Structure 1
Amino acid sequence: MAKPIFVLNGPNLNLLGTREPEIYGKDTLDDIKAKCEAKAKALGLAIDFRQSNHEGELVAWIQEARTGASGLIVNAGAFTHTSIAMLDALLACQVPSVEVHLSNIFTREPFRHHSYISKAVKGVICGFGAAGYELAIEALAGLIKNKRPS
């Protein structure tokens, strides 16, 4: 089995299910983790699912992914719009990565329309709620499969 896909979640995502469910949905982070595990297993992959409210810890995990992961999914939460440190870590990461947002950031407040980290990822999935994570796993599965030697 390949190295796991790291699924990294940023600040306040530990409050999913109770925090603004009209925007972020009713699924908890544990619900999303279970869905990700099932999707990855169906595709012959594994995930390493993490959450932190601390930018430096997220940066360290992105750096860890350089050698410890086959792919990376990042929902950076509010750090999406502020973190040059996460951008720099992602630029150095060199594994295929996907940015995920539960809500459509482009239909929200203007400050949410800009993502620092988008420059460093293969693609962005937003606005599909928890299903966005599963879509990201499917996308990464294809990228990982195509990267493996025949």
Structure 2
Amino acid sequence: MADTVFVLNGPNLNLLGLREPEIYGHDTLDDIAGRLEDQARTLGLVIDMRQSNHEGHLVDWLHEANAAGARAVLLNAGAFTHTSLALYDAIKAITVPVIEVHLSNPHRREEFRHRSFVGQAAKGTIAGFGALSYALALDAAAKL
């Protein structure tokens, strides 16, 4: 699975396109997945895109990506970004590189969003470019 990139999405991202489009845009997660699949084919990669509103699923999927020998993980942990020591620990425990992804720029938002446990453990962060953040992160993963 060295050519597989896991794309993991956390809470409320199933509501993309409906939830606060002035912040998160009008694209749905399915729209983003379709574009990423096309981009991945061009890069010689395969994506495994998942979403859960449950923290433990994200932890399990990080472990799975590592066990499978994935090339990278793109992780948009949603609100868990700012609260989850479990995700921090899971990222630190695996060797597969994790790229933190955000549609918005958390540093231009509420103060509580300025701290990222995910970002403290991740290889890098791409944020603030809307749905393009995912494409930029996939390009970065292809070059790792």
- On whether the aligned pair clears a TM of 0.5, the verdict is yes
1 CA distance for matches of 2:39 and 2:5?
A: 12
- 1:20-77 C-alpha deviation (Å, 9 max, x unpaired): 0000000000001011111111100000000000001110001111122221000000
2 CA distance for matches of 1:84 and 1:19?
A: 26
Alignment partner, residue 106 of structure 2:
105
1 CA distance for matches of 2:94 and 2:28?
A: 28
Q: Give the aligned residue type for 2:101.
A: V
Alignment partner, residue 93 of structure 1:
94
2 CA distance for matches of 1:104 and 1:93?
A: 26
Alignment partner, residue 60 of structure 2:
60
1:2 positional shift: 3.1
Q: Give the aligned residue type for 1:2.
A: A
Alignment partner, residue 148 of structure 1:
none
1:110 positional shift: 0.2
SS in 1 for 2:136: helix
5+ long unaligned stretches in structure 1:
144-150
1:97 positional shift: 1.5
Provide the aligned length of Structure 1 versus Structure 2: 143
- Percent of pairs with identical residues: 62
Q: How does 1:1-150 map to 2 (within 5 A)?
A: 2-68=2-68, 69-143=70-144
1:99 positional shift: 0.2
RMSD, matched Cα: 0.9
2 CA distance for matches of 1:37 and 1:20?
A: 25
Matched-pair contact (CA < 8 Å) for 2:8–2:77: yes
Q: Following TM superposition, where does structure 1 have runs of at least 4 consecutive aligned residues deviating by more than 2 angstroms?
A: none
